[in-house]
Structure 1
Amino acid sequence: MANKKKVAIAGLASILLVAMCVAVAVGVTKKSGGDGGSITTSTKAAHAICGSTDYKETCENSLASANTTDPKELIKIAFNATIENISGVLKQSALLKEAANDESTKDALSICEEVLGDAVDDLYRSTDKVAQFDVNKVNEYVEDVKTWLSAVITYQETCIDAFENVSGDTGEKMKNLLKTARELSSNGLAMASELSSIFSSLQLGNLGSRRLLSKEGRELYFKDPTDYAPGEEPQYVKKGRRLLSAWRPNAVVAQDGSGQFRKINDAIAQVPKKNDKVFVIYVKAGLYKENVIIPKGAHKIVLIGDGPLKTRITGNKCFAKGTKTFQSATVAINADDFVAKDIAFENTAGPEGHQAVALRVSGDRAVFFNVHIDGHQDSLYAHTYRQYYRDCSISGTIDFIFGDALAIFQNCKFIVRKPMDNQACMVTAQGRVDPRSQGAIVIQNSDIQAEPAFLATKPAIKAYLGRPWKELSRTIIMQSNIGGFIAPEGWSPWMGTFALDTLYYAEYQNRGPGSDLSKRVTWKGIRHINAQIAESWSGGRAFGGDFWIRAAAVPYVPTLMHV
């Protein structure tokens, strides 16, 4: 097997990852002879690369001007077509914003400008990742590209969502403007997803030891996550905890003046643009009333408090007072490789504030350990990319964990709070829209419970594990304790029969009075999974590469657990 793998790697060393399928298709047709040289033209190559996409005509049109069969160039042309299309939408958005008469429309267009700009950035870095292809890092490269292209799709959906409850036809205009961009983005994700299957069939998923770098620069080698027994915690993770605690803060925030800063945003402002080194901000005990924003490019921030009951960041922006859901977050993470530990994020708008986000995470590879996230409706906006939560507490009422990130929660508490009169509660509202998107909410070995005020209400309030925010909503709850207050049917519809056939909801090996499956809804989208499929949703499998969790030096089990 080892020799077979070496031969496969040697044969792939010079082939661009995201264009491998095209190179193979063109190579086969060359050998077949046929109708002379025409079979090797750029048109044939374009048809080959578009073969795995859902929007083939859009794909082929984007490559119509290509005069090459070089896979690298074809991929570059396809990505650039998407970039140009979204850039054109951004220009139209600016014109629409200038012509808008009401603040709600202007706010929606401002969100579009932000998230579509982020989408363009993700397309650029996907292109760069492809150009830097290293066959020894197959998993990392494929998962990065798939994650970033999934985010491109999510960002476009976020732009459209911003027009909810906005009068006029601007939202519909924006939706029409984004039609081609959404198809092009979906096509790019399809190409990347096809390659995952190719590499899997060649057994190239794990090419040697993975590594992480300690703060001192030493390389720590470790086994692949799948080599651990269920529930086993790797030894180096335990060492890693001490490593994190030993890091000295680059900035100290204290309300009593004992640090360099009194406000958290002032400390964040010290982080270099496009930061590439760990920057530790220690926030001493206190109640910090500020809306904290980790700006794009301020990567590798580690935010550490004195404990979630002592260090709390609080705000009260909400939809009821005119703030868009996306902009209501008390804390917004827009940079990559963010770590939060021993701290709390809170939105105090209350149930009457309607959508009021405590934490929005719009950065890749985010890690949260011993963090409290408290609010009511829409408490945690797990927006996009890859996110890991361990030993956290999240409270709320309606859809209080929502978004389209690939978010995995281990050993967390989900606390259902009392809503307003005539309201039911839903723990999750996942928002996947593309069949190949990475997005999913995975709750593992956690506790779904309710606060006393909820339980004391008469008549009893209905509560559900989740409902489908978007057509391909995907949530997996496994090895967790589910309280008896959860309705026997388990899941709630969003509106009528919307998404009931296309969603993906699964429960596996749960416990507690609310885990009884005998009276669950029987929608077509409800899945009954086995141990193998459940294992595929553990962190060591679902994330593809989990070095970033290990580097954060927090407890982590990459497999199913013994419960």
Structure 2
Amino acid sequence: TAQQTLFVYPGVYKEQVVVPLLNGPLVLQGYTCDTKSYAANQVTITQAKAQKDIPASIIKNRNDLTTTLLLKSNNVKVYNLNVANTAGNVGQAIAVKADGANNGFYACKFTGYQDTLYANQGPNLYAKSYISGAVDFVFGQYAKAWFESCDIVSVGKGCIAANGRDSATNPSEFVFNNAHVTGNGVGTAYLGRPWKAYSRAVWQNSDLSNVINPEGWQKWNGDNNVANVYFKECNNRGAGAATNKRVGFSGRLANPVPITDILGANYKTQWWVDNNFL
């Protein structure tokens, strides 16, 4: 039950990694000369499995079988790891899946194309990290997740966030605070779309480049069931931040969402929350 630390030496590791359910907390630390910046990371875990590579006979947990780094444990802190799924534009291909509560990711770099980051259980924190992709590349169904000061990079046409909150009692919500959004093309990316009918996502205090389409948000493959969707923006800036042409099922907040709504009132004293990154 004692804390364990796994230190990873520099290199490119071509493999899939699963962290099983552990009895105690775990720190995953990648080698770096600057713990505060993903730009100095010297450890990369990479592979290229996608849904198309999983045998049709396998019905359950297909996403897990494509994942580069799968965390099944609670109370995990991850520092200075680059995690990639290089399958490209071929369908669902996950780089990271956070399937435990109280997971914190710090100065990490997650790269992929579709479904890069699967933030499935929470609460979780992603801070001063880099996340790239094109289609639904930050998604998940049950997690309360706070994204603090992250660089979000769109590499193709599609939506960034696909929150899968499926009922009024599901606690899931994604909040992007002080994000920096860039990408290829003009108006080719959207802030999000509703994977499920009660989807919740908020972008606030963020710099949105012109990669963000003026409409801001999309429906799920033409599904008009958006009555219970909660898509909000607050105090954003940049060429993609204007809200005058946003879709009718989105809105603006008068005040930003407080971090306590996502991480809890006592987040500053929680082991998995590194306040040096907030």
Q: By the TM > 0.5 criterion, same fold?
A: yes
**Alignment length, in residue pairs?**
263
2:135 to 389, 398, 415: 398
- 2:172 is the alignment partner of 1:447: no
What is residue 312 of structure 1 aligned with on the other side? Answer: 44
What is residue 101 of structure 2 aligned with on the other side? Answer: 364
What is residue 484 of structure 1 aligned with on the other side? Answer: 210
Superposed CA offset, 1:32-86 (max 9, x none): xxxxxxxxxxxxxxxxxxxxxxxxxxxxxxxxxxxxxxxxxxxxxxxxxxxxxxx
- 2:21 is the alignment partner of 1:289: no
Which protein, 1 or 2, shows the higher relative CO under an 8 Å CA cutoff with sep ≥ 6? 2
1:374 to 87, 108, 111: 111
- 2:82 is the alignment partner of 1:344: yes
Distance in 1, matches of 2:6 and 2:173, equals: 30
Distance in 1, matches of 2:262 and 2:274, equals: 19
2:123 to 379, 386, 403: 386
Report the Cα offset of residue 500 of structure 1: 1.6
Contact 2:161–2:193, Cα closer than 8 Å, also in 1: yes
Contact 1:447–1:480, Cα closer than 8 Å, also in 2: yes
* Letter matched to residue 391 of structure 1: K
Report the Cα offset of residue 326 of structure 1: 3.2
What is residue 433 of structure 1 aligned with on the other side? Answer: 166
- 2:266 is the alignment partner of 1:542: no
Distance in 1, matches of 2:190 and 2:23, equals: 37
Report the Cα offset of residue 328 of structure 1: 1.2
Contact 1:468–1:499, Cα closer than 8 Å, also in 2: no
* Letter matched to residue 403 of structure 1: G
- 2:251 is the alignment partner of 1:527: yes
Distance in 2, matches of 1:380 and 1:448, equals: 16
What is residue 414 of structure 1 aligned with on the other side? Answer: 152
What is residue 302 of structure 1 aligned with on the other side? Answer: 27
Contact 2:198–2:230, Cα closer than 8 Å, also in 1: yes
Measured on the aligned residues, the alpha-carbon RMSD in Å equals: 1.7
What is residue 70 of structure 2 aligned with on the other side? Answer: 332
Report the Cα offset of residue 384 of structure 1: 1.4
Cα 1:409–1:434 shift into 2, 3 Å? same
* Letter matched to residue 495 of structure 1: N
Superposed CA offset, 1:510-545 (max 9, x none): 00010000110112xx233221xx2xx322233223
Distance in 1, matches of 2:140 and 2:227, equals: 20
Percent identical among aligned pairs is 28
Superposed CA offset, 1:335-368 (max 9, x none): 110000111111111112x100000000110001
What's the secondary structure of 2:191's corresponding residue? strand
Cα 1:552–1:385 shift into 2, 3 Å? closer
Contact 1:283–1:304, Cα closer than 8 Å, also in 2: yes
Superposed CA offset, 1:248-271 (max 9, x none): xxxxxxxxxxxxxxxxxxxxxxxx
Report the Cα offset of residue 554 of structure 1: 4.2
Distance in 1, matches of 2:110 and 2:152, equals: 10
1:478-517 → structure 2 map (5 Å cutoff)? 478-517=204-243
- Give unpaired runs (5+ residues) of structure 2: 33-37, 56-61
Distance in 2, matches of 1:446 and 1:548, equals: 24
Distance in 2, matches of 1:552 and 1:495, equals: 36
* Letter matched to residue 473 of structure 1: S
What's the secondary structure of 1:325's corresponding residue? helix
Distance in 2, matches of 1:470 and 1:340, equals: 29
Cα 1:306–1:508 shift into 2, 3 Å? same
* Letter matched to residue 211 of structure 2: F
* Letter matched to residue 121 of structure 2: T
Q: TM-score, normalised by structure 2?
A: 0.89
Superposed CA offset, 1:100-132 (max 9, x none): xxxxxxxxxxxxxxxxxxxxxxxxxxxxxxxxx
Cα 1:488–1:507 shift into 2, 3 Å? same
- Give unpaired runs (5+ residues) of structure 1: 1-275, 419-423, 558-563
Structure (1/2) with the larger helix percentage: 1
* Letter matched to residue 499 of structure 1: N
What's the secondary structure of 1:465's corresponding residue? strand
